[in-house]
A and B are shown apart, each in its own frame.
Chain A
């Protein structure tokens, strides 16, 4: 199993450009999440999808949109990129195993907005 796969791994944008970060999981998990990580900080939740067909805002949703295309895929779109969106973005999916809640992360996508 590949787990959680994110593309692209690296991207450089100019201010005002748009792009979509793709995320796919092959573990049949219901819940998926997008987090961002800025230098010296922990992760902050942007958006999440508790199940196919539903999406909800997290702590820092401004400037982003999401689509839960199907159970496997959860994409994050920047419509008009700003330098403040320079960050590392992580997609994750959640499962419950033997009473424990486990969050599995993708490898991350490093985005630079000039």
Chain B
């Protein structure tokens, strides 16, 4: 499986600010996913994005597979965006749910 590194480890914002979270991975990927873990521990899939750009409301993600990184953009942040953001890449094999997770970025949005 690949190595996944996320930055920054912590991020504190005021409501309304924009932010960019980065995920570097050690090898080519055919499966790159972003997740949000809310303060109550629930994990939600945000994006499946092995390449290209996708947008979902105030969130968007871009993966540049040839340069082995992915970015998650959060615009006009809200307090409900707080939590931990994980990116995850393939852990080997053909099962798409078999993932290697980064250590996460802890986002805190203050009102």
B97:A31 contact, CB within 8 angstroms: yes
Distance in angstroms between the alpha carbons of A85 and B91 in the assembled complex: 22
Within 8 A of B (CB), among A49-90: 50, 56, 58-59, 88, 90
Asked if A107 is an interface residue, CB under 8 A from chain B, the answer is yes
Question: Which residues of chain B are within 8 angstroms of A108 by Cβ–Cβ distance?
Answer: 41-43
Q: How far is the CA of A31 from the CA of B45 in the complex (A)?
A: 16
Instruction: Identify A42's interface contact among B31, B44, B45, B102, CB under 8 A.
Output: B102
Chain A contact patch, size range: 20 to 34
Asked if residues A50 and B43 are in contact (CB atoms below 8 Å), the reply is no
**Inter-chain CB contacts under 8 Å: number:** 69
Output the least CB separation between A1 and chain B (Å).
Answer: 15
User: Is the C-beta of B48 less than 8 angstroms from some C-beta in chain A?
Assistant: yes
Does B98 have its Cβ within 8 Å of any Cβ on chain A?
yes
Interface residues of B toward A: which range? Answer: 20 to 34
Whether the Cβ atoms of B42 and A105 lie closer than 8 Å is yes
| SS of A interface (majority) | strand
B99: interface (CB < 8 Å): yes
B97 near A92 with CB under 8 A, answer yes
In the complex, B104 has a CB within 8 A of chain A: yes
Q: Is A58 in contact with B98, judged by CB distance below 8 angstroms?
A: yes
A96 to B95: give the CA distance in the assembly, Å.
11
23 contacts between A and B (CB under 8 A): A31-B95, A42-B4, A42-B86, A42-B101, A43-B86, A45-B91, A45-B98, A45-B100, A48-B95, A58-B98, A59-B1, A59-B91, A88-B41, A92-B97, A94-B97, A96-B96, A100-B48, A101-B31, A102-B48, A103-B96, A105-B43, A107-B41, A108-B42
A31-B97, A43-B88, A58-B91 provided; 19 other pairs, C-beta below 8 A? A31-B96, A41-B103, A41-B104, A42-B86, A42-B88, A42-B103, A48-B95, A48-B98, A50-B95, A90-B43, A92-B43, A94-B97, A101-B96, A102-B45, A103-B35, A103-B96, A105-B43, A105-B44, A108-B43
**A residues near B, CB below 8 A?**
31-33, 40-45, 48, 50, 56, 58-59, 88, 90, 92-94, 96, 100-105, 107-108
